[in-house]
Every structure is written in C-alpha cells, then in structure tokens.
A and B are shown apart, each in its own frame.
Chain A
Amino acid sequence: MAQHKVNYTQNGGLPVALTSIDKIVNWGRSNSIWALTYGLACCGIEMMASGASRYDFDRFGTIFRASPRQADVMIVAGTLTKKHAEFIKRLYDQMTEPKWVISMGSCANTGGMFNTYATVQGVDRIIPVDLYLPGCAPRPETLQYGVMLLQKKIRANKASRAQVAKRLM
C-alpha cells in the first residue's frame, strides 16, 4: 500500500487556473466516476471490498450509486446469466451519456469457467465494453487500476465534441 499526498491545486494553492474547456470537462468527468452497483456474483464482493476501508474507492471520486440514472460507469462484476441478460441491457439504456462499462472478471469477459448452457459468454454480446479486467476474482487493486485507466481514457477524449452513443448495433 502506497501512501502519498495529493495536492489538488498545482500552483501553490492559487485559486486561479487557466485552461481549455476540454481539460476542465474531462477533469470533472474523470475524477467523479460514479459507478452503478452491479455486483452479480463473486466479483461483486471484491468490488465492495474496493469500496470499503482498506482500498477506499472514494479517493478516486468513485462513489457507488444504486440508480442507473446517477451512474457514469457500469462495473459488471460477476457472471451474467441468460436469465439476467435482458436486465443488463435495460439498465445500460437507462444510464445517461456519457457512459462507460468495465467488465470485471473472467465470467463477464468471456463466460470464464462457466462454459455452460446458462451463462452468457461475455457481456460484450449484450452491451459495448470499454475495459476488460482479467482475474477470477480480480483483486481490488486490479479494479482500481482499471478505473485509473478509464480516467486516462476519458482524459484523452475530446469533451467538446458531441457524444457519439456507443451501441453494439
């Protein structure tokens, strides 16, 4: 575990900063990624652990929200079964743009060890996915690294451009 101080204002705490619209919008988006609590199976427990005391997700600005309307990122943590598949699509559609999806764990990525009749072989058959986290279950560190990569991805986007809705089809 690393401890480090983060000084949120670079220039000695000066209250004035000059920047472009892109940067300030992306700064806001990338540092307040609110995640939908989408714990489906075992990975959901690790997702809770990364939100809890030791791993403390709040310092990334990632707060779990129970409502899709308030969430920016959907962390699909666990096995998606065929019975559940229609609901993940509905919840994804209910989230507001811009939205991102992290597929957490082998089951969500590819179906993983559950190569059976009841399991969807990868959530990317239902919704578009931005990040795949390997592991069964991935450690909280993996999830945190994934969120950091997502922040990087958001920062690389042009915020001023109109959001193009991501759709499978």
Chain B
Amino acid sequence: MRAYKPKDNVQAKAYYTDRFYVSPQVPKSPVESDEIFAKDLEAIKANFTVLDAYIQVEQMVVYINPQDNFKVLKLLRDECEYTQLSEMSAIDWLATRGGFEIFYQMLSMNKRKRIRIKMFINKGESVNSVEKLFRSADWSEREMFDMFGIEANGHPFMKRILMPYDWQGFPLLKTYPLQGDEFAAWYEVDKIYGKEARDIIGPELRDSAKVDRYDSERFARLGYEVPKGTVITGNEPKNEENYQEEGGVFMIKKFDKKDSVVVDDPQR
C-alpha cells in the first residue's frame, strides 16, 4: 500500500514528530502594557470591531473584520500617524480553516512603532483595495493576487506581477508543489518551440546533484577530458592543463609560467 499523502498541503513535512512534543509559544503580552499601543487600540475600538489584540515581539497585532480594512487603515494613517504601509500579504490557511489570513504591516515613524493589522477571509472572497491610501499597496495587492489568487476590489490594474500573464496556478498556495505542476514544467518549451518539441527536448532534470562519472555526454572529469560520447574505462590519459596548444599560437608568444610574477598583497 502506498503511504497516504494529503492533497491539501503538499509542502515539505517533518518526517518525525514526537507524539508528546508540545511546541512552546512566542510570548504574547496584553496591549495595556504599552501606553502608545493602548491609545491606538482605543482609537480603533471606538469605531470598529476588534476581534483580538496583543503585543508579540514588540509589535501590536490587531485582528479586524475584513470589510473594515480600508477604514481602519485610513484611521491609522490620518489620526494615529501610521504613515507607511511597509508590507502586506496573505497566509494560506485553506487546509485547516478554509480561508486566507491577510496582514498589513504598518509603521509610524513619529512614534517608532510598528503594528500588524490582520484579518481572515474565506475562500473565494475578495478584499477592499487600500491602494487609494497607500500607493505601495498597488504592487503588494498585485503580488498577493499573483501568488494566492486573492483579488482586491477597486484596484486599478489587477493583473499578475511576478509570474507571466498567461501563467496558470497560484504558486504560494499550499496545494501548489514547489517544483511546479504539469503546466509549469513545460511552460517555456510550449511557449518557444510548441508542444511538439516536448519529445525532443525531454522532461526537466530536477535532480541537480546527480553526477555520473561514466556519462561522457553530460559530464567531464577535470584533467581527464575525453571527446563527447566516449565510453569511460577508467584508464583515461591525464591531460596537462595548458591553455595554449603544443606548437604555440599564431602571432602570440608562448606563455611561460617561469617568467610570470605572483602578487601576494593585492592592496600593495
């Protein structure tokens, strides 16, 4: 019987886990322990529902409802001095929770504080674009669409950014294998030479560590080079490493190692 492999998450898995191992948690502290964060959280709480909030590794994490994201970010930018959206992206939780978690990483330069706004959307839902607030979201949202397939409503140019426009599949989903699917494997061959070239060019060789010293088609042993296709016996003659041919090169003086100078200290 073949071992069962889950289809909803094809990423690398730990092959051994202690049954009784309980992984520790990165410590979380309540928001009240920091004055500035507490004030910011109050400002958000006054107008919007806050599902959860805590401080983790010096940064406040606030969970909000997905429909509020534009307004919360506007409030943070205009009233709480969070003037920069440093980063935004998504986390794929389709296998366990059936949706995506989207985070916005904000920076306030006046307060020297960073907060992370997080929200959860279900599969197939789209988010409100914050491109009107922060121009940096223009490209981030395109990248999120490219990698996860999450669309942003009201975005001016919702197209792929990193992958080609005619790409199929969303690479950062947990269901997408690291080495790509059938479409990815033949993408460049199909595009340049056409499907009929697949047989001639052959499949990708994904084992880059493979070295076969008896294969003279693809490998050459340094110092024992032979013409392509020769059968390797192990008794190949040693080739002296010389750049110039035996009889010298036309119009160029034969290089003599004895005449050359070796410089030890490059900074002399």
Q: Which residue of B lies closest to A11 (CB)?
A: B251
For B255, list chain A residues within 8 Å (CB).
4
Q: Which residues of B contact A26 (CB under 8 A)?
A: 250
Say if the beta carbon of B91 comes within 8 Å of chain A: no
Partner of A83, one of B164, B176, B189, B192: B164
Q: Which residue of B184, B189, B259, B262 contacts A125 across the interface (Cβ within 8 Å)?
A: B189
Interface residue? A41 (CB, 8 A): no
Interface residues of A, count at CB 8 A: 44
Shortest distance between the CB of B107 and any CB in chain A (Å)? 30
Q: Are A3 and B252 in contact (CB under 8 A)?
A: no
B contact patch SS: loop
CB distance from A146 to the nearest CB of B (A): 11
Closest residue of A by beta carbon distance from B187: A82
Q: Assess whether B176 is in contact with A1, with CB atoms less than 8 Å apart.
A: no
Give CA–CA (A115, B245) in the complex, Å: 39
CB-CB nearest 6 A-B residue pairs: A117-B180, A85-B188, A2-B260, A121-B204, A4-B260, A7-B253
Q: Could you list 14 A-B pairs, sorted by A, with CB under 8 Å? A: A2-B262, A4-B261, A10-B252, A17-B250, A17-B251, A24-B250, A85-B188, A86-B192, A117-B177, A117-B179, A118-B171, A121-B206, A125-B189, A168-B200
A binding-site residues for B, Cβ under 8 Å: 1-10, 17, 19, 23-24, 26-27, 31, 54, 82-83, 85-86, 89, 106, 110-113, 115-118, 120-122, 125-126, 145, 148-149, 152, 155, 168-169
